[in-house]
């Protein structure tokens, strides 16, 4: 599928001349992924591509995304401070746990928070005398997919249709400027259709609407090119209807995290031990799946092994903690890996360093950007 970048020839031919463990971001594949997404969504009028910072806080990587013109979605003051330092623009925000410090920073910069719960919204509207806000919407999905946990049962979003909510905003003369939804991993175009249909119905009730943020969760969807095309067509059609209804153009924000970076990141690690067990080879590498890849399910995409023995064996690749289930890859056939062989695993560009644990006090892997054939240090 065209969004999934190919591993660069340089990485295939040359073992990285950097220490291990390390995360390597492939510059060209980030650029091509962004360009592919942009090309897909450009049929939607007034659309803005942002990056969900929760997926990756590496400043050098974010600077690259900023240079490509991406805005940001932030969920904490820490993410916001990084985005400010880099100058990413525009910035959108929704968070289950705003506090005064974060909120004041957003308001200072004229960024409207998209409140995640009614109690949160009420508290801050009253505290700061707000007369306009954004809302993360709880979308009442009917055709809920078993894997989607983000419909009516979700803890995220406000039941914006409730009498209580409508009464509150009428009493306060509150303007709803932004509607934001994020439905976890979008499984197919019919989920998007249901969500957009709902947002369209809301556009009659909230006439001050300026921004519709459709969140992220596009990675699964992008495994099916036809569903991708269908989905963006659906979004476009509803946006046109909303614009007609409001008699002006709203802004549409798309803010994936995983889709933009996951596939462009490679974990470079070295084998620390290699032992033949009953019918498989037990490999331990120099970093931890438990610490790093809780959300990423890595594949072994390449190894740098000079072993002459080409008879494949069953391998299990474990991380370097004492936790029994610290497994990167539970089954892969490969020529026998030996101590000090280098391995490349993918996809680790998103939700790896940004949500790492640190069992045994292991540090995060160093991060590098590979641009053509040059490694540029991207923090550690």
Ligand X SMILES: Cc1ncc(COP(=O)(O)O)c(C=O)c1O
> Where does this chain bind ligand X (CB under 6 A)?
52, 54-55, 73, 94, 182, 215-219, 255-259
- In terms of DSSP H, where are the helices of 206-326? 225-246, 258-261, 289-292
d(CA 182, CA 352): 21
Closer residue to ligand X in complex, CB, 191/218: 218
We find the least distance from the C-beta atom of residue 329 to ligand X, in angstroms, to be 22
Closer residue to ligand X, CB minimum distance, 92 or 124: 92
- Least Å distance, CB 185 to ligand X, is 6
| Contact status, residue 43 vs residue 236, Cβ threshold 8 Å | yes
Shortest Cβ 334–ligand X spacing (Å): 30
Catalytic residue among 97, 322, 339, 376: 322
**Position with the least CB separation from ligand X:** 216
Q: Token match 């910072």: residue?
A: 53
Residue with tokens 């060209």: 28
Q: Whose Cβ is closer to ligand X: residue 186's or residue 271's?
A: 186
H or E element that contains 377: strand 374-377
Shortest Cβ distance from residue 80 to ligand X (Å)? 14
Q: H or E segment at 344?
A: strand 342-346
Angle between helices 225-246 and 27-41 (to 10 degrees): 50
Cα–Cα distance between 131 and 174 in angstroms, integer? 5
| 322 labelled catalytic | yes
Q: Which of 155, 51, 78, 56 is nearest to 355 (CA)?
A: 56
The whole-angstrom separation of Cα 268 and Cα 20 is 6
Strand pairing report for 175-180 and 132-136: parallel
Q: What are phi and psi of 18, to 5 degrees?
A: -130, 165
Nearest approach in angstroms of CB 58 to ligand X is: 15
Between the alpha carbon of residue 312 and those of residues 12, 198, 279, 287, 333, the distances in Å are 19, 53, 12, 24, 6
Question: Cβ of residue 302: shortest distance to ligand X, in angstroms?
Answer: 25
Residue 295 class from Cβ within 10 Å (0-12 exposed, 13-18 middle, 19+ buried)? Answer: middle
Three-state DSSP class for 39?
A: helix
Residue 194 or 255 with smaller CB distance to ligand X: 255
- How would you class 57 by CB atoms within 10 Å of its CB: exposed for 0-12, middle for 13-18, buried for 19 or more? middle
Smallest distance from ligand X to CB 182, Å: 4
Question: Which positions are catalytic?
Answer: 322
């Amino acid at each position: 599928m065209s969004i999934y970048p190919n591993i660069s020839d340089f990485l295939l031919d040359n073992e990285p001349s950097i220490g291990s463990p390390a995360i390597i971001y492939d510059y060209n594949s980030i650029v091509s992924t962004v360009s592919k997404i942009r090309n897909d969504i450009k049929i939607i009028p007034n659309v803005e591509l942002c990056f969900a910072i929760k997926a990756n806080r590496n400043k050098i990587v974010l600077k690259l995304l900023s240079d490509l013109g991406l805005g940001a979605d932030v969920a904490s003051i820490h993410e916001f401070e990084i985005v400010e330092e880099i100058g990413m623009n525009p910035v959108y925000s929704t968070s289950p746990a705003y506090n005064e410090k974060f909120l004041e920073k957003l308001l200072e910069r004229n960024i409207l928070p998209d409140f995640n719960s009614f109690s949160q919204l009420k508290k801050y509207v009253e505290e700061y005398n707000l007369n306009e806000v954004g809302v993360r919407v709880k979308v009442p999905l009917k055709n809920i997919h078993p894997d989607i946990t983000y419909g009516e049962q979700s803890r995220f979003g406000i039941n914006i249709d409730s009498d209580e909510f409508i009464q509150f905003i009428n009493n306060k003369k509150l303007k709803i400027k932004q509607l934001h939804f994020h439905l976890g991993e979008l499984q197919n175009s019919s989920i998007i259709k249901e969500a957009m249909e709902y947002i369209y119905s809301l556009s009659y009730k909230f006439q001050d609407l300026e921004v519709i943020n459709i969140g992220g969760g596009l990675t699964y969807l992008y495994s099916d090119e036809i569903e991708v095309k269908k989905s963006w067509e659906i979004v476009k059609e509803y946006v046109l209807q909303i614009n007609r209804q409001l008699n002006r153009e709203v802004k549409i924000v798309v803010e994936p995290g995983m889709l933009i970076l996951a596939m462009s990141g490679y974990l470079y690690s070295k084998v620390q031990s290699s032992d033949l067990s009953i019918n498989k080879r037990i490999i331990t590498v120099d970093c931890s799946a438990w610490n790093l890849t809780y959300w990423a399910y890595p594949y072994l995409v390449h190894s740098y092994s000079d072993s002459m023995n080409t008879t494949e064996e069953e391998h299990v690749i474990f991380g370097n903690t004492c936790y029994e289930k610290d497994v990167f890859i539970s089954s892969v056939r490969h020529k026998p890996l030996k101590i000090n062989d280098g391995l490349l695993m993918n996809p680790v560009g998103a939700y790896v360093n940004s949500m790492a644990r640190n069992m045994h006090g292991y540090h995060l892997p160093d991060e590098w950007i590979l641009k053509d054939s040059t490694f540029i240090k991207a923090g550690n």
